[in-house]
Amino acid sequence: MSTFTKLCITLSILVSLLASSTNAHLTTNFYCQTCPSLETIVRNEMIKAIKKETRIGASILRLFFHDCFVNGCDGSILLDDTGSFVGEKNAIPNKNSARGFEVIDAIKTKVEAACSATVSCADILALAARDGVALLGGPTWTVPVGRRDARKASQSDANNQIPRPTSDLATLIKQFQDHGLTPTDLTALSGAHTIGLAHCSTFKGHIYNDTNIDSNFATLRKKTCPISGGDTNLAPLDVLTPNNFDNNYYKNLVGFKGLFHSDQVLFNKGSQDNLVRAYSTNGAKFSSDFALAMIKLSKISPLLGTNGEIRKNCRLVN
Ligand code: HEM
Ligand SMILES: *[C@@H]1O[C@H](CO)[C@@H](O)[C@H](O)[C@H]1NC(C)=O
């Protein structure tokens, strides 16, 4: 028996003794015996995917958020619509914008080859989101695992529970609170908008109708987002460094260069102004708060024990 395997088993026993072993829960060593190569596989596939398209790290981070906000981190967003099944992919916040599913499929294929019928799609998504952030220069953290996959999905819950870019601060705070997340978690997690792209339709109202926006920034964004049409044109969420996971999102907010109405409400003479200012000058504070908030996000209502299933194909229930 290798030293690693001994350590893995010893740790598993200690952890289960410490945390009354009767009730199932997420743990950091859940797969250490059953799929020791899991984290290496996910990371190597994410390295490949980001080399092919930098944006994919952002897209997978968003997929994870949209999975967790709809009845927990249970892989429900990965399920395809079929003749007899309505999933979440065509809910308003996901339709024509949720992306990265092929990368999750590719990781799942590799993971099945190494340790078949063992690792959930929900856990793969949580690990892939973490690796995407780290590979783009952001913080890293240990992902508690042991989630199982949902056998159902809800398009209406996706429509109702995923925040809209036109939301005001009170609505955002309420939606995060409903998921066990604090206003600080909201402001830290919104820093994910330091990477990735958005469609003109999602920020048109903000650049044409809102007054809490830098006029040069509004002019710049209007160039590729006309008042009429152009709805599918893309713009970076972070005007400064769209491919780097850094704290420039908050510098943008302080300069009234948030892309969405829902971004700028975090710095608009409201309760989050001081925290936005702090993150804008203290990248280390942002990094550590973001990592902690991601762990909290990842713990929303997991399916555990014998609930749910380990999907064979992330797009279909078994
Ligand atoms: C606070 C409420 C939030 C709202 C209203 C919101 C809204 C949006 C919208 C409208 C887009 C653009 C989609 C498109 O046009 O295709 C977007 C993109 C994105 N969001 Fe959020 N979001 C929120 C929070 C979050 C959180 C908490 C995360 C992750 C922790 C996140 C990660 C991302 C990323 C990375 C992108 C870029 C995706 C890509 O390039 O494919 N967002 N968000
Ligand atoms: C701007 O506001 C007007 C008046 O409320 C509204 O009719 C219009 O649709 C808004 N424009 C955008 C792009 O949201």
What is the token pair recorded at 42? 């996910």
The answer to whether 255 and 249 have CB atoms below 8 angstroms apart is no
Per residue in 60-102, pLDDT (tens digit) is 999 999 999 999 999 999 999 999 999 999 999 999 999 999 9
| Catalytic annotation, pick one of 25, 66, 179, 206 | 66
Determine if ligand 1 sits within 6 Å of the CB of residue 97: yes
Q: What are the distances in angstroms from CA 92 to CA 51, 67, 122, 225?
A: 30, 14, 22, 20
**Strands annotated E in 155-278:** 197-199, 234-236
The bridge status of strand 234-236 relative to strand 197-199 is: antiparallel
Range from 21-25, 65-69, 231-235, 310-314 carrying the lowest mean pLDDT: 21-25
Tell whether 82 is in a known binding site.
no
- Fold for 34-162, please state it: Peroxidase; domain 1 (1.10.520)
For the stretch 271-314, pLDDT in tens is 999 999 999 999 999 999 999 999 999 999 999 999 999 999 99
User: By CB neighbour count within 10 A (0-12 exposed, 13-18 middle, 19+ buried), where does 224 fall?
Assistant: exposed
- Domain 181-296: state its class: mainly alpha
Query: Over the stretch 183-199, which tens digit does the pLDDT of each residue have?
Result: 999 999 999 999 999 99
For ligand 1, whether the C-beta of 163 sits within 6 Å is yes
Reply yes or no on whether 25 is catalytic. no
Q: Does the C-beta of 210 come closer than 6 Å to ligand 2?
A: no
Residue 201, CB half-sphere, CA atoms under 13 Å: how many?
Answer: 9
Stretch(es) of the chain classified as CATH 1.10.420.10 = 181-296
230 among the known binding-site residues? no
**Positions of CATH 1.10.520.10 in the chain:** 34-162
Q: What's the gap in Å between 62 CA and the centre of ligand 1?
A: 6
Residue 6 in this model has a pLDDT that exceeds 70: no
> Which ligand lies nearest to the CA atom of residue 211 in the structure?
2
190 lines ligand 1 (CB under 6 A): yes
pLDDT band, residue 11 (cuts 50/70/90):
low
- Is the Cβ atom of 144 under 6 angstroms away from ligand 1? no
Contact 182, 214 (CB under 8 A): no
Counting ligands in written order, the one closest to the CA of 208 is 2
Q: Which atom of ligand 2 is nearest to the CA of 209?
A: 1
CA-to-CA dists, residue 210 to 129, 215, 249, 257, angstroms:
32, 10, 19, 12
Ligand 2: residue whose CA is nearest its atom 9: 205
Q: Do the annotations mark residue 88 as ligand-binding?
A: yes
Instruction: Dump strand ranges (E) for 110-265.
Output: 197-199, 234-236
Please indicate if the annotation marks 72 as binding a ligand. Answer: yes
Which residue, among 242, 183, 239, 175, has the nearest Cα to 207 in the 3D structure? 239
Instruction: Determine the pLDDT at residue 17.
Output: 55
Q: Are 244 and 136 in contact (CB under 8 A)?
A: yes
